[in-house]
């Protein structure tokens, strides 16, 4: 029987991934992190045998210690997916030009989009070592690819996702040393209708396939379980299984 951990499980892609994993019989334990999600709490009431909720806020390193108790009950961890991410909030929109960039906007994006992957990696390394075929994935974005950048803008988001892709590359090297069967990847989920993307979707259906969170979760799970730890670890992989150049 397998165990999983999902960060950012309160809504959007993270919530859909959590539902998808809970419905798989082979997963006996699912730890899910949120900040204050009534939807996740409702889901947890339905799957109370399997799911454990913890509260994690990206900017609060100590909040990652809420994982310690639940992780200490496991013999190994088979799947860990970080879906925490931000693109905008009430006061901030992605920058269109350099004049809109501030030190705070860059540090905030790094804090939410890059750092949680590193902080959770510290917590799971020992359990990753003990699983037969562990998977550690973080939801990144194609816009974090330097070679794919044709339009510029979105400085903080692009920079924080490019940094996340480097964090994943580093972790893939370090985690390979403790478990040669382990897979460590960054994932591009495809354009998915969520609170994060909604303000930017006008006209998007003419350019991209638009996915529901449930479809994206199903796509990502299929991709993850068909990747090759040797060939694919350290890479940014798209929802359709294609590798995206860094
Ligand atoms: N949607 C897309 O088209 C798309 C495309 C490419 C990449 N992505 C990536 O996919 C991931 C998931 O995004 P989504 O589309 O599902 O958006 P979403 O619905 O807005 O979900 C974002 C998740 O991140 C959590 N989060 C945000 N700031 C946080 C913080 N400071 N501390 C802790 N948790 C925080 C949110 O928790 P709360 O519920 O507490 O806010 C939520 O669970 C992100 O990394 C995003 O960059 C999405």
Query: How do the domains of the chain map onto residue ranges?
Result: 2-244
Give the pLDDT confidence score for residue 203 in this predicted structure.
87
CATH superfamily assigned to domain 2-244? NAD(P)-binding Rossmann-like Domain (3.40.50.720)
**Nearest alpha carbon, ligand 1 atom 39:** 10
Q: pLDDT tens-digit profile of 145-160?
A: 999 999 999 999 999 9
pLDDT tens string 15-36:
999 999 999 999 999 999 999 9
Atom of ligand 1 nearest to the CA of 15: 43
Distance 91 CA to ligand 1 centre (A): 16
For residue 203, give the DSSP letter: T
229 lines ligand 1 (CB under 6 A): no
Distances (CA, A) of 57 to 6, 16, 115, 129, 209: 13, 19, 11, 26, 31
Tell how far the Cα of 121 is from the centroid of ligand 1, in angstroms: 18
CA-to-CA distance for 131 and 161, rounded, in angstroms? 28
Quote the ligand 1 centre to 180 CA distance (angstroms): 30
Asked whether the predicted pLDDT for residue 206 surpasses 90, the reply is: no
Q: Where are the alpha helices (DSSP H) in 90-183?
A: 103-113, 115-130, 155-178
Please report which confidence band the pLDDT of residue 45 belongs to, taking 50, 70 and 90 as the band edges: very high
Task: Say yes or no to pLDDT of 106 above 90.
Answer: yes
């Amino acid at each position: 029987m397998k165990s999983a951990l999902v960060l950012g499980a309160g809504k959007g892609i993270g919530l859909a991934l959590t539902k998808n994993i809970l419905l798989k019989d082979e997963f006996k334990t699912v730890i899910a992190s949120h900040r204050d999600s009534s939807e996740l709490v409702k889901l947890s009431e339905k799957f109370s045998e399997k799911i454990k909720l913890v509260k994690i806020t990206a900017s609060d390193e100590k909040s990652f210690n809420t994982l310690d108790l639940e992780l200490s009950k496991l013999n190994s961890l088979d799947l860990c997916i970080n879906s925490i991410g931000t693109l905008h909030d009430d006061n901030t929109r992605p920058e269109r030009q350099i004049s809109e960039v501030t030190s705070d906007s860059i540090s905030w994006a790094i804090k939410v989009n890059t750092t949680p992957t590193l902080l959770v990696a510290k917590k799971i390394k020992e359990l990753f070592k003990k699983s037969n075929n562990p998977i550690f994935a973080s939801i990144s974005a194609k816009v974090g690819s330097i070679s794919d950048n044709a339009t510029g803008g979105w400085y903080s988001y692009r920079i924080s996702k490019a940094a996340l892709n480097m964090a994943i590359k580093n972790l893939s090297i370090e985690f390979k040393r403790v478990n040669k069967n382990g897979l460590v990847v960054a994932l591009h989920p495809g354009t998915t209708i969520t609170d994060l993307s909604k303000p930017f979707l006008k006209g998007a259906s003419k350019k991209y396939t638009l996915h529901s969170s449930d479809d994206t979760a199903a796509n990502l799970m299929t991709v993850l379980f068909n990747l090759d730890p040797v060939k694919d670890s350290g890479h940014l992989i798209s929802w359709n299984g294609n590798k995206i150049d860094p």
